[in-house]
Amino acid sequence: MTDAELRRVEPVMGTVVSFVVHGRDHDDGAIRRALDDAVRWLHEVDDRFTTYRPGSEWLRYCDGELALANAHADLRHVVARTEELERATSGAFRIDADASRPPDPAAYVKGWAVQRAADILVDAGATAVCVNGGGDIAAWRIRGSWRVGIQDPFDRTKVCAVVEVDCGAVATSGAYERGGHIVDPRTGRSARGLASVTVVGPDLGTADAYATAAFGLGTDGPAFLRTLDGYGAFVLTDSGAIEAIGLPSAA
Amino acid sequence: MKRAAPAIALSAAGLTWLLHAQGVIDTKPAQQASPTDPSTTAPAPDAPAATSPPTSSAPSPETPPTTTTPSSRNGTVNGPVIDTRYGPVQVEVVLSGSQISDVRALEYPNEARRSQDINAQALPMLHDEVLAAQSPNIDTISGATYTTFGYEQSLQAALEQAGVLRQ
């Protein structure tokens, strides 16, 4: 393979986003510029949607200081899409599931932002793109596949499965994520029953939201995952049982 | 939106899924699935040899310092400083050839007792995770852990920058 490889890591959105990008030599300048654009985009999203810094556009919207009609198009997109996901999942996905915090769209926004960062690089002519935002991945290749290891939640020295992705997204939610703050939207309490949920499919924002929703539902998560169209899942329960959903075996 | 059905195959390392989802980015050509042998679809190792000169030495004001090509695998790679609620943390990965020989904390919060507990637990755990990350033919890892502690974030970044997740 004669393609040049660029790597970059960027602390943003409360995590680290890493890029691996392949491009043809004559596209090198365009891809470097696209990488800068993608990183700039992630910081723009972080600034707009953070719930950790007072005065962000998102918090002003939540406080009623900023009318939706006057908000940036990206904020209007996130509001519309998260409402759509709430309806489509019958409330399994909710940005206000945790009543102790302001509504937090991060479970959709992070994946959406990382997916769009990957799309920027694909549009710039990259031949292979893998963007990992804190364990959630958007990947694309003209030839071959990226091999994405799924961390074993019971033994973090191991990878419990490998997903090969040529064009798609992989999102994982687990009890160990951000101090276990994923809550069951029906009870408001910490989710129980599952050790980790990995969702694979075409779009990372959607996959991320589905993984968070299924994890929050606990033992009802697999039933929810079976209703999804176009998205597969890999579930590990607290007892160590493995269930693959919506991914027909090639054997 | 049209999506091809993903397929699963088993490999020695465990379940291997072959995901051929299409639709979001539909400019790519149709894939020929070869699901029975994952090794045939694994990306070819294309990291340059360790003897090739570092391309980052070329002066380019537009090039951020964190953009690298994985040209050298000896020495140390530092992860970025990650701010946590306990204070800033940063790890350093020591490379020997294509193997990681050590992971050290360069900066860590040591005032609160809680922080010391984290330090005592996190670093041995990271050693183990690093071993997992050196699994052959894995490009990246999906998991919920990288947001738990700044250590893992800094380490993940250092590993990816060093190219050790891709051998």
Between A20 and B36, residue with greater pLDDT: A20
**Chain A, window 218-247: residues with a beta carbon less than 8 angstroms from a chain B beta carbon:** 230, 232, 234, 242, 244, 246-247
Q: Where are the beta strands (DSSP E) in A117-241?
A: 128-133, 136-141, 146-151, 159-165, 167-174, 194-201, 232-237
CB atoms within 10 A of CB B40: 10
- For the residues B64-93, what does the mean pLDDT come to? 60
Between A118 and B119, residue with greater pLDDT: A118
Contacts B10 to A, Cβ<8 Å: 251
SS3 state at A187? coil
At residue B33, φ and ψ (nearest 5 deg) are: -75, 135
ipTM > 0.90 for the complex:
no
Nearest-Cα distance to chain A for B150, in Å, is 8
Between B140 and B8, residue with greater pLDDT: B140
Tokens 């602390």 -> residue = A11
User: Cβ separation of A14 and B135 shorter than 8 Å?
Assistant: no
Quick one: pLDDT at residue B104?
Answer: 66
Nearest-Cα distance to chain B for A212, in Å, is 11
Is residue B18 within 8 angstroms of chain A, CB to CB?
A: yes
User: Is the confidence at residue B106, as pLDDT, over 80?
Assistant: no
- Per-residue pLDDT band for B151 (boundaries 50, 70, 90) equals low
Name B117's bridge partners: none
Nearest-Cα distance to chain B for A65, in Å, is 28
- Per-residue pLDDT band for B18 (boundaries 50, 70, 90) equals very low
- Quick one: closest CA in A to B56, which residue? A6
SS3 state at A116? helix
Quick one: pLDDT at residue B109?
Answer: 56
At residue A201, φ and ψ (nearest 5 deg) are: 175, -170
Is residue B141 within 8 angstroms of chain A, CB to CB?
A: yes
User: Cβ separation of A132 and B36 shorter than 8 Å?
Assistant: no
Nearest-Cα distance to chain B for A44, in Å, is 18
Nearest-Cα distance to chain A for B5, in Å, is 7
Of B5-14, B53-62, B84-93, the least confident: B5-14
In angstroms, the CA B99 to CA B74 distance is 9
Quick one: pLDDT at residue A203?
Answer: 96
Between B16 and A235, residue with greater pLDDT: A235
In angstroms, the CA A59 to CA A11 distance is 22
User: Cβ separation of B66 and A10 shorter than 8 Å?
Assistant: yes
In angstroms, the CA B50 to CA B57 distance is 15
Q: Where are the beta strands (DSSP E) in chain A?
A: 4-12, 15-23, 128-133, 136-141, 146-151, 159-165, 167-174, 194-201, 232-237, 242-245
What is the average pLDDT score of chain A?
87
Q: What is the pLDDT of residues A12-54, one digit of tens each?
A: 887 778 888 999 988 889 999 999 999 999 999 999 999 878 8
User: Is the confidence at residue A120, as pLDDT, over 60?
Assistant: yes
- For the residues A130-148, what does the mean pLDDT come to? 90
Is residue A73 within 8 angstroms of chain B, CB to CB?
A: no
Q: What is the pLDDT of residues B51-63, one digit of tens each?
A: 333 333 333 333 3
Tokens 């904390």 -> residue = B105
Quick one: pLDDT at residue B37?
Answer: 36
Whether B92 and B106 have beta carbons less than 8 Å apart is answered as: yes
Of A93-107, B27-41, B90-104, the least confident: B27-41
Q: What is the pLDDT of residues A193-242, one digit of tens each?
A: 899 999 999 999 999 999 999 998 999 999 999 999 889 999 999 888 88
Tokens 């033992």 -> residue = A219
User: Is the confidence at residue A130, as pLDDT, over 90?
Assistant: yes
User: Is the confidence at residue B146, as pLDDT, over 50?
Assistant: no
Is residue B8 within 8 angstroms of chain A, CB to CB?
A: yes
User: Cβ separation of A156 and B132 shorter than 8 Å?
Assistant: yes
Of A15-24, A66-75, B50-59, B107-116, the least confident: B50-59
User: Is the confidence at residue A155, as pLDDT, over 60?
Assistant: yes
- Nearest CB partner across the interface for B144, out of A6, A39, A177: A177
Quick one: pLDDT at residue A123?
Answer: 96
